[in-house]
């Protein structure tokens, strides 16, 4: 037998689709000559810059960020950071842009596309002028929700809060047709009157006019400590009437960010609490970046891992790893996996396709382990695709010689992903830098992962895995078969191939340490893909 002459033929003809490594279709810098996305993400996911995006049913991209510019794509600035919203088509062309600002600071944290009828943006404002005159307290932040139609017209703008600092970080459209948002609060008046103790805040309001339905706070796992601090970053409604999961961060001591753990809880549509739990390392600060529905009441949390501990299976070290945790319907951990290198990896968003494959986005500063290829600069966009059971499909990184980071993801169908974040470079993948720190949007296409069922891994086995010297045993479970073997790097390059191996064969390579994909293929229809680690 002989290998097919090119990988594209294999991709189109094999009975189980081999994952195409992602292709960059286009990139686009958006902003002005000032700084967009000011601040830092090196403490937590809400403390600095956020560029977020979503895709509507009629295939338009809605994106939100904050800006200090008053030129380029940003038509005006009212003072300090303003909320900037734009609508793009799938080619990256701008349909419209809008700016919402007062004399103080405003920032968005999430945007939700609403079918073919526009979007809703959630964030905060400190201003008491411009469109933000309803702020509950001067010099303090209120949570803000802005409803925008498909033409860029403001349908309504609501401010929720009390006498202290109040932030809203995420928003969903519930199955009953109303909005629900989450965040953190220090208030006891206004929309927080009678909500009870605790910083963890969830508010539900009418989708058509923004009228509040209820507002509640929840005491989390660390609330018994007098120095605790907690907040909710994300919430997701589970399918099948299985409730709403929210998650964020919590610590028993607000003076020690290294004590932060992931907190997560389950409520119903009326805000009734079923349970509240935490999970994390014992040596660093951890937080929630995304919550994904896994079906049957189960769910995944994607977050930052920054240490070791009894609840952690693996930690690569450095400043943090991507951390994927699978939970059952009662909130008990089933398994966890981490992704990264020995420097810094921070995740900020994750999405999944209809088959449960997960795509995580953030940044990496490493050049080894899972992030061992294509380093561009100090800090790169990092996109990681994994199967529903956590095994890596592919990773990709983009950027220039400076600092770039993904802060928002949106998936179109099962084969196109859009990432948004910050860029500082004017080279590498970035060809249209405007000035200062820009918003950067990247379109990535790949083959759908529809035909990657877990049972394919039972057709062959590798031993040892990890391999310490590049050699390993391949055992085909159907002993009547022979197969060709190809080994791919994580960038899609063929680094080893051998024809007609027997049902049990020793493969010897000179490959360097890293992650590889083993593609076993025969003309009789046998085909399987395995992941090999050499260390």
CA atoms within 13 A on the CB side of 441: 25
Rounded Cα distance, 420 and 409, in Å: 6
Which residues 6+ apart lie within 8 Å of 226 measured at CB?
none
- Is position 131 within any domain? no
pLDDT for 523: 61
Which conformational region is residue 369 in: left (phi greater than 0), alpha (psi within -120 to 50 degrees), or beta?
left
Q: Helix, strand or coil for residue 13?
A: helix
What does the H/E/C string look like for 363-408? EECCCCHHHCCCCCCCEEEEEEEECCCCCEEEEEEECCCCEEEEEE
- Is position 392 within any domain? no
* Structural domain span for residue 488: 7-13+455-534
The secondary structure element, H or E, covering residue 7 is helix 7-13
- Is position 515 within any domain? yes
Give the pLDDT confidence of 488-527 residue by residue, as tens digits: 886 677 899 998 888 788 899 999 988 888 888 776 666 6
Which residues 6+ apart lie within 8 Å of 487 measured at CB?
494, 495, 496, 497, 509, 511, 516, 517, 518, 519, 532
Give the CATH number of the domain where residue 467 resides: 2.60.40.3080
pLDDT for 41: 42
- Is position 471 within any domain? yes
Give the pLDDT confidence of 92-137 residue by residue, as tens digits: 999 999 999 999 999 999 999 998 889 999 999 999 999 999 999 9
Cβ-contact 148, 154 below 8 angstroms: yes
Closest CA to 52 of 361, 387, 425: 361
Instruction: Please compute the mean of the pLDDT values over residues 449-478 and round it to a whole number.
Output: 67
Cβ-contact 474, 507 below 8 angstroms: yes
pLDDT for 521: 78
Which residues 6+ apart lie within 8 Å of 61 measured at CB?
53, 54, 55, 87, 88, 89, 90, 410, 418, 441
Give the pLDDT confidence of 220-277 residue by residue, as tens digits: 999 888 888 899 999 999 999 999 999 999 998 888 777 899 999 999 999 999 999 9
- Is position 499 within any domain? yes
Instruction: Please compute the mean of the pLDDT values over residues 464-471 and round it to a whole number.
Output: 83
pLDDT for 478: 64
Q: Is the pLDDT of residue 480 over 70?
A: no
- Is position 144 within any domain? no
- Helix%, strand%, coil% for the chain, nearest 5: 5, 50, 45
Rounded Cα distance, 281 and 495, in Å: 37
Q: How many folded domains does the chain comprise?
A: 1
Label residue 50 by pLDDT band (50, 70, 90).
confident
- Is position 503 within any domain? yes
The secondary structure element, H or E, covering residue 191 is none
Q: Is the pLDDT of residue 484 over 70?
A: yes
pLDDT for 420: 96
Cβ-contact 518, 532 below 8 angstroms: yes
Give the pLDDT confidence of 264-304 residue by residue, as tens digits: 999 999 999 999 999 999 988 999 999 999 999 999 999 99
- Is position 464 within any domain? yes
pLDDT for 459: 65
């Amino acid at each position: 037998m002989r290998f097919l002459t090119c990988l594209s033929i294999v991709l189109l003809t094999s009975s189980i689709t081999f994952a195409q490594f992602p292709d960059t279709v286009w990139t686009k810098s958006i902003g002005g000559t000032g700084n967009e996305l000011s601040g830092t993400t090196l403490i937590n996911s809400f403390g600095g810059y956020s560029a977020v995006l979503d895709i509507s049913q009629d295939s338009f991209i809605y994106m939100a960020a904050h800006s200090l510019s008053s030129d380029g794509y940003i038509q005006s600035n009212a003072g300090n950071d303003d909320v900037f919203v734009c609508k793009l088509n799938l080619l990256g062309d701008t349909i419209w842009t809008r700016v919402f600002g007062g004399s103080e600071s405003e920032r968005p944290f999430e945007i939700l596309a609403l079918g073919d009828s526009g979007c809703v943006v959630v964030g905060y404002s400190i201003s008491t002028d411009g469109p933000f005159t309803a702020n509950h307290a001067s010099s303090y932040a209120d949570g803000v929700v802005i409803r925008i139609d498909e033409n860029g017209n403001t349908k309504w703008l609501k401010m929720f809060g009390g006498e202290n600092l109040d932030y809203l970080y995420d928003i969903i459209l519930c199955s009953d047709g109303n909005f629900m948002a989450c965040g953190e609060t220090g208030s006891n008046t206004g929309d927080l009157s009678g909500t009870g103790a605790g910083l963890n805040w969830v508010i539900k309001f009418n989708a058509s006019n923004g009228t509040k339905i209820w507002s509640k706070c929840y005491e989390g796992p660390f609330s018994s400590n007098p120095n605790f601090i907690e907040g909710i970053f994300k919430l997701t409604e589970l399918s099948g009437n299985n409730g709403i999961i929210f998650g964020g961060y919590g610590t028993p001591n607000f003076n020690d960010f290294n004590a932060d753990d992931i907190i997560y809880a389950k409520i119903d549509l009326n805000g009734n609490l079923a349970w509240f739990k935490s999970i994390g390392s014992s040596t660093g600060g951890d937080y929630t970046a995304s919550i994904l529905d896994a079906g049957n009441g189960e769910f995944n949390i994607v977050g930052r891992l920054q240490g070791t501990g009894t609840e952690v299976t693996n930690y690569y070290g450095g400043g943090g790893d991507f951390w994927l945790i699978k939970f059952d319907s009662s909130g008990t951990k089933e398994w966890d996996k981490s992704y990264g290198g020995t420097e810094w990896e921070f995740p900020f968003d994750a999405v999944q396709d209809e088959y449960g494959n997960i795509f995580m986005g953030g940044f990496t500063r490493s050049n080894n382990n899972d992030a061992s290829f294509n380093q561009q600069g100090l800090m790169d966009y990092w996109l990681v695709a994994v199967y529903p059971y956590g095994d890596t499909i592919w990773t990709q990184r983009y950027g220039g010689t400076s600092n770039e980071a993904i802060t928002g993801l949106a998936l179109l169908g099962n084969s196109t992903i859009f990432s948004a974040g910050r860029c500082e470079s004017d080279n590498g993948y970035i060809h249209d830098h405007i000035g200062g720190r820009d918003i950067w949007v990247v379109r990535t296409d790949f083959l759908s992962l529809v035909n990657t069922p877990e049972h394919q891994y039972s057709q062959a086995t590798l031993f040892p895995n990890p391999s310490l010297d590049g050699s390993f045993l391949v055992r085909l479970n159907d002993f009547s078969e022979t197969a060709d073997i190809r080994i791919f790097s994580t960038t899609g390059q063929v680094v080893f191939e051998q024809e007609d191996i027997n049902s049990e064969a020793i493969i010897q390579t000179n490959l360097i340490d890293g992650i590889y994909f083993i593609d076993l293929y025969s003309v009789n229809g046998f085909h399987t893909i395995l992941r090999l680690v050499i260390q």
